[in-house]
């Protein structure tokens, strides 16, 4: 902090700071023009960099979606395989004079399948739009 001058007519030094708030990825036209003035070709480099960044982000989102889809598909296949094995075991138990344990195992397996199915259904209270994409910039 600069102390106040003792002489009211003495020159005073002051510091100025300018802060620009940018929403989105692209800087303002004035900022790009200033870069272009200082370094010719900078505007093209800035736009090219933003295009590359956007392409990279879209590729990463596509890879994440593909991985999520594969993981979900694997879970479904393993789940149906497990359910079929449990039904075969319960059928074997029932036909082998162990009706009560076989029936309980089959009912428990069927109950778990119904619970998983009901849990996967979208809620009617959920918003219609996805929270992953907030929409176009304002």
- 104 assigned to some structural domain: yes
- 14 assigned to some structural domain: no
Mean pLDDT of all residues in 113-123: 78
Average pLDDT, the chain: 82
Structurally, how many domains does the chain consist of?
1
- Residue 112: Cβ within 10 Å count: 14
Check if the beta carbon of residue 103 is closer than 8 Å to that of residue 116. no
- 51 assigned to some structural domain: yes
Q: What is the pLDDT of residue 116?
A: 83
- 113 assigned to some structural domain: yes
- 37 assigned to some structural domain: yes
Tell me which residue of 83, 129, 133 sits closest to 108, measured CA to CA.
83
Tell me which residue of 78, 85, 92, 83 sits closest to 115, measured CA to CA.
83
Q: What is the pLDDT of residue 28?
A: 83
- 52 assigned to some structural domain: yes
Structural domain for 89, as ranges: 29-120
Query: pLDDT of 54-64, one tens digit each?
Result: 999 999 999 99
């Amino acid at each position: 902090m600069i102390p106040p001058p003792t002489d009211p007519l003495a020159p005073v030094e002051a510091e100025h700071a300018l802060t620009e708030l940018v929403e989105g990825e692209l800087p303002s036209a004035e900022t790009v023009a200033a870069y272009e003035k200082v370094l010719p070709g900078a505007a093209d480099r800035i736009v090219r960099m933003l295009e590359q960044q956007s392409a990279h982000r879209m590729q990463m989102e596509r890879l994440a979606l593909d991985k999520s889809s594969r993981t979900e598909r694997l879970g479904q296949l393993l789940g149906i395989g497990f359910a079929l094995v449990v039904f075969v075991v319960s059928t074997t138990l029932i036909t082998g004079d162990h009706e009560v344990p076989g029936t309980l195992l089959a009912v428990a397996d069927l109950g778990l399948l119904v619970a998983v199915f009901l849990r996967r259904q979208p809620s009617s209270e959920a918003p219609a739009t996805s929270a992953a994409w907030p929409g176009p910039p304002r």
